[in-house]
């Protein structure tokens, strides 16, 4: 018999398949159809935008890894995801240099400075998007109509703007997003147009149906927690539903709320960024419902037509608190003492009432 080389290892000796790389790679796969559709829809400008932000994010991560002498973390795909997501939330005619700056800011302030993957308190793509909103308010609210005939041969005039110059006017191409149309003109877009994405909007937010299908791919393969998108969409639907029932003539229907703007993309691909969301099962529901609720409130009553970005960032900020308040109750531990005391106090107060009539009689006898 051959001598056996014995190795020591502690249990468990089995490991479930599925690693971080596996999850992240599949998120990239799920985003690719959305990118393809947006390139088909908005043409060369969208392609350049996606490439610019993705490359900037990857380069930023690499640069900071080198500076911080950290291990190369590109293999976990998360920088690629951040880059793609940022591009998908920008208007198609957004100047590339602005996109690159936003991507750099999002990646450095939103992720690397927190310590890299797993430590970011906010979704880095949304940090970049929030920066763009603040720094380039003009460019970020200039929307172009989709399906321009020359889109595959020419870029939109503003795409290649030189850094630190004002982008040329793209009036000839501009349109309004469905949300802006509703907010400022009181017009509703057809549901089929919203589903199929035949509307004006950010690069990757237009087709609610396509985003839903790509998101469901991740849900079905259990790569993201299904509760997150379900809670966000549910929260938005319920909140919008309440307002719609109050005044159907003024408030939009909950279906319009669900299918328009960036809600679908945010629910499946940004709110579901697990790092910046709570981990406890209850916390996840609260977080998602909160985001859905805030999105609708901002849309209905805020100055901006879209609210998903700030809603998610606020949700990110609240998640440590939510986690803290929703710690699971371990097996065999009684409910928290305060609750228990309150219950027994209640029971005590209810009890004497039932007995009072009988007691004095007995004493008398």
Partner 1 sequence: MTRLFSFLSSLTFPHGVHPPEFKEATRDQAIRRLPFAPRMIIPLQQHFGEPAIPLVRPQQEVVRGQPIAVANGDLSVAMHAPVTGTVEGIQLMPTARGPKSEAIVIRTLAADSQVVRWGTPRDVNSLSSAGIIQAVQAAGLVGLGGAAFPTHKKLEVPAGHPIDTLVVNGCECEPYLTADHRIMLEHTATLLLGIRLAMRALKAQRAVIGVEDNKLDAVAALRACLSPHDPISVQTVRTKYPQGSEKLLIKALLKREVPSGGYPYQIGVVVNNVSTLSQMGELLPNGQGIIERVVTVAGPGVKKPGNYRVPIGTPLRYLLEQVGYAGDASHIILGGPMMGNTVASLDVPVTKGVSGVIVLPELATQSKPAGKTHPCIRCGRCLEACPVNLNPCELGRLAVKREYAMMQARFHLHDCFECGCCSYVCPSNIPLVQYFRIAKSVNRERLL
| Interacting residues toward partner 1 by CB under 8 A | 1-23, 76, 115-119, 225, 274-275, 277, 279-281, 284, 323, 327-334
Q: What is the DSSP letter of 16?
A: -
Q: What token pair was written down for 117?
A: 């993957």
What's the min distance (Å) between Cβ of 170 and partner 1? Answer: 40
What's the min distance (Å) between Cβ of 78 and partner 1? Answer: 9
Is 117 or 240 the residue whose CB approaches partner 1 more closely? 117
Q: Are 273 and 243 in contact (CB under 8 A)?
A: no
How many other CB atoms sit within 10 Å of the CB of residue 4?
Answer: 6
Is 23 or 232 the residue whose CB approaches partner 1 more closely? 23
What's the min distance (Å) between Cβ of 223 and partner 1? Answer: 9
Q: Is 106 helix (H, G, I), strand (E, B) or coil?
A: helix
What's the min distance (Å) between Cβ of 283 and partner 1? Answer: 9
How many other CB atoms sit within 10 Å of the CB of residue 58?
Answer: 18
What's the min distance (Å) between Cβ of 335 and partner 1? Answer: 12
What's the min distance (Å) between Cβ of 213 and partner 1? Answer: 22
Q: What token pair was written down for 158?
A: 């503003």
Is 119 or 152 the residue whose CB approaches partner 1 more closely? 119
Is 133 or 225 the residue whose CB approaches partner 1 more closely? 225
**How far, CA to CA in Å, does 271 sit from each of 38, 86, 131, 213, 287?**
21, 14, 18, 17, 9
Residue with tokens 């009689």: 361
CA–CA–CA angle 344, 349, 352 (5° rounding): 120
What's the min distance (Å) between Cβ of 194 and partner 1? Answer: 31
Is 16 or 153 the residue whose CB approaches partner 1 more closely? 16
Is 117 or 318 the residue whose CB approaches partner 1 more closely? 117
Is 139 or 275 the residue whose CB approaches partner 1 more closely? 275
Q: Is 73 helix (H, G, I), strand (E, B) or coil?
A: coil
Q: Are 103 and 60 in contact (CB under 8 A)?
A: yes
Q: What token pair was written down for 290?
A: 């909160």
């Amino acid at each position: 018999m051959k001598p056996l080389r014995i190795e020591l290892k502690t249990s468990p000796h089995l490991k479930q398949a599925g690693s971080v790389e596996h999850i992240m790679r599949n998120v990239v796969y799920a985003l690719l159809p959305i990118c393809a559709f947006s390139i088909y829809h908005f043409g060369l400008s969208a392609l350049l935008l996606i490439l610019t932000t993705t490359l900037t994010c990857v380069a930023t991560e690499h640069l900071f890894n080198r500076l911080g002498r950290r291990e190369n973390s590109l293999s976990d795909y998360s920088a690629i995801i951040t880059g793609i997501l940022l591009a998908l939330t920008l208007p198609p005619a957004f100047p590339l240099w602005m996109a690159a700056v936003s991507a750099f800011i999002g990646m450095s302030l939103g992720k690397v400075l927190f310590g890299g993957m797993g430590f970011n308190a906010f979704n880095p793509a949304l940090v970049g998007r929030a920066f763009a909103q603040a720094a380039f308010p003009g460019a970020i609210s200039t929307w172009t109509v989709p399906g321009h005939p020359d889109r595959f041969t020419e870029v939109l005039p503003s795409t290649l703007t030189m850094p630190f110059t004002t982008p040329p006017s793209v009036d000839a191409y501009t349109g309004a997003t469905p949300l802006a149309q509703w907010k400022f003109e009181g017009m509703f877009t057809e549901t089929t147009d919203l589903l199929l994405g035949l509307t004006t909007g950010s690069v990757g937010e237009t087709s609610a149906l396509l985003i839903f299908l790509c998101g469901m791919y991740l849900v079905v393969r259990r790569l993201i927690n299904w509760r997150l998108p379900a809670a966000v969409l549910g929260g938005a639907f319920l909140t919008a539903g309440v307002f719609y029932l109050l005044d159907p003539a003024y408030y939009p229907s909950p279906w319009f709320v669900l299918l328009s703007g960036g809600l679908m993309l945010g629910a499946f691909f940004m709110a579901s960024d697990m790092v910046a969301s709570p981990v406890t099962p209850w916390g996840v529901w609260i977080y998602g419902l909160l985001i859905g609720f805030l999105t609708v409130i901002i849309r209905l009553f805020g100055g901006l037509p879209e609210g998903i970005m700030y809603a998610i960032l606020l949700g990110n900020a609240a998640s440590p608190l939510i986690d803290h308040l929703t710690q699971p109750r371990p097996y065999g531990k009684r409910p928290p003492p305060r609750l228990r005391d309150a219950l027994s106090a209640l029971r005590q107060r209810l009890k004497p009432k039932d007995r009072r009539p009988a007691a004095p009689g007995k004493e008398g006898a």
